[in-house]
Structure 1
Amino acid sequence: MSKTLCEWKKKEIESKLTQLTDIVSPSHYLCKKCARTANDKKYLCKGIKLK
């Protein structure tokens, strides 16, 4: 995946819901810019590790 979650369009979110679930669970990183979470920093624009 080359796009961060911030860049996903609404239609992409709807059509890739299974993939999205895999990306966000379990969450280990939080984006400082958009407050999204993911299990890998590469999915976020400004990811920081959760404590």
Structure 2
Amino acid sequence: MGDNGRAAEAKKLCKWKSGQYEKDRELLQVIVAEPTHFCTECGRVASKKKWLCEPARLVKDKDE
């Protein structure tokens, strides 16, 4: 990944601008592929809490 990818990795998903979703689509797919946390401020989901500003753990359904 180039410099833009490293900048995106350092930035919380909650702070991404709309154009960044298209530009860093591969990274976005990695971040949201298997969500374990959500942001209590904006509702975005991520596979690791480091990607979110106000992370909270997703609760799994008892039937899973």
TM-score by length of 1: 0.91
CA offsets 1:1-51 (integer angstroms, 9 cap, x no match): 221111111111111111101001100001000000000000000000111
Alignment correspondent of 1:47: 55
**Other-structure match for 2:36:** 28
Partner of 2:3: none
Relative to its length, the structure with more helix (as a share) is: 2
Which has the greater radius of gyration? Answer: 2
Alignment of 1:8 onto 2:20: no
Residue ranges of structure 2 left out of the alignment (5+ in a row): 1-8, 60-64
Q: Give unpaired runs (5+ residues) of structure 1.
A: none
RMSD: 0.8
Letter in 1 for 2:57: K
How many residues align? The count is 51
**Using the alignment, how far apart are the partners of 1:44 and 1:24 within structure 2?**
11
Identity %, equivalent residues:
35
TM-score by length of 2: 0.75
Provide runs of 4+ in structure 1 moved above 2 Å: none
